[in-house]
Amino acid sequence: MACKFTIRLKHLPQSLTIKQFRFLRAFIYQVFVHREPLPSDALFRPLIVTTRNWPAECDYNIHKSNSTYFTDMDIARAHLVSCLLKNWLRGSNSSSNSSALVPNNLKLDGSKRVSIAVGAVSCHFRKEIPPFTKYEIWTRILCWDKKWIYIVCHFVKCGAVPLGQRSSPETRHTTGNASATKTSTITQIDPPSSAIYATGITRYVFKEGRITVPPELFLSTCGLLPPRQVLSEINVTDLRREMIEEQNERGLKYMEAFATLDEVHESFKDSTSKEALGHFGEF
């Protein structure tokens, strides 16, 4: 009976292959199986993945090993990115609102593949996760700047946010009309701090060949970000754009310190100026 709980596919010797399978499964499900259209306010909505801390993921302290958080984040981000960009990944994106904003050196028309690359990953731990504990990973877009888009993953105690505070099936199937937008409103609550096990941040960049694609442009092209209205009367789209920009600014405040960590590479020269304690091999 113990083996039934201890041995899981993702912990077998072929764990790398299993991880690739989990990643591919997330991609296929979100892009080709989960066909429901995205709601109009999908950009900052969280996507929740539920999993469990199996003993094979634990370290010598008998709680979830730090390194396994990053594997979980990979899978959670795969679900989110595939879900939000499903139309683009299917090649069925129909948004042309941003065509006037596309620089001359960018096509964004499918003639070149736009790739998504990870630029940095950080995880901040608050509380350990014991063996067999079930937990949720709440993943969403936090913010973006001119180059990077930041995705946050919160590792949360399972059930910390009551089901009534989550999107109902009717909410998830909204299509962006006025009545649907009203029904998708969810009361914000503050879960207890003890419910958050850890928080991870991932920084992505969009590339078309060797050219960096600004996140705002790519999100607009994918239909996730309303276009900027120039010399137009205020309408629902303008108000949505204003609310999105306000939330993006709130997220950028968290990332101000994160951006300065790029300078830590320069500290390596301090290491090379000192004699090493030793040089050891590892198999």
| Residues 189-246: tens digit of each pLDDT | 666 678 999 999 999 999 988 899 999 999 998 889 887 664 455 455 566 788 899 9
Comparing CA positions, the residue from 110, 93, 78, 46 lying closest to residue 225 is: 93
Whether 221 and 119 have beta carbons less than 8 Å apart is answered as no
| Residues 130-154: tens digit of each pLDDT | 999 999 999 999 999 999 999 999 9
pLDDT above 70: percentage of residues in the chain: 70
pLDDT band at 69 (very low <50, low <70, confident <90, very high): very high
Q: Which one is predicted more confidently, 228 or 253?
A: 253
Residues 6 or more apart whose CB falls under 8 angstroms from that of 25 comprise none
**pLDDT exceeds cutoff 70 at 186:** no
What string of H, E and C letters represents the secondary structure of 10-67?
A: HHCCCHHHHHHHHHHHHHHHHHHHCCCCCCCCCCCCCEEEEEECCHHHECCCCCECHH
Task: Establish if 275 belongs to a structural domain.
Answer: no
Task: Establish if 169 belongs to a structural domain.
Answer: no
pLDDT band at 13 (very low <50, low <70, confident <90, very high): low
Q: Which domain holds residue 121?
A: 2-164+193-263
**No. of helices (H) and no. of strands (E), the chain:** 9, 6
Whole-Å CA distances, 203 to 224, 229, 234: 19, 28, 33
> What is residue 126's predicted lDDT score, i.e. its pLDDT?
94
The residue assigned the tokens 């790029």 is: 262
Q: Specify the number of domains making up the chain.
A: 1
Separation CA 250–CA 173 (nearest Å): 28
CATH at residue 199: 3.10.129.10
Whether 77 and 139 have beta carbons less than 8 Å apart is answered as yes
Task: Establish if 280 belongs to a structural domain.
Answer: no
Whether 88 and 115 have beta carbons less than 8 Å apart is answered as no
Task: Establish if 156 belongs to a structural domain.
Answer: yes
Task: Establish if 279 belongs to a structural domain.
Answer: no
Task: Establish if 230 belongs to a structural domain.
Answer: yes
The pTM assigned to this predicted structure is 0.78
**Sign of the Cα pseudo-torsion (41, 43, 45, 47, in order):** positive
> What is residue 84's predicted lDDT score, i.e. its pLDDT?
92
| Tokens read off for 77 | 């981000």
Judged by phi (left if over 0) then psi (alpha if -120 to 50, else beta), residue 91 lies in left
pLDDT band at 264 (very low <50, low <70, confident <90, very high): confident
> What is residue 238's predicted lDDT score, i.e. its pLDDT?
64
Lowest-confidence region among 74-78, 104-108, 176-180, 209-213: 176-180
Mean pLDDT of 39-63: 92
Average pLDDT, the chain: 78
Task: Establish if 207 belongs to a structural domain.
Answer: yes
Comparing CA positions, the residue from 253, 231, 226, 230 lying closest to residue 242 is: 226
Task: Establish if 276 belongs to a structural domain.
Answer: no
pLDDT above 90: percentage of residues in the chain: 40
Mean pLDDT of 20-45: 82
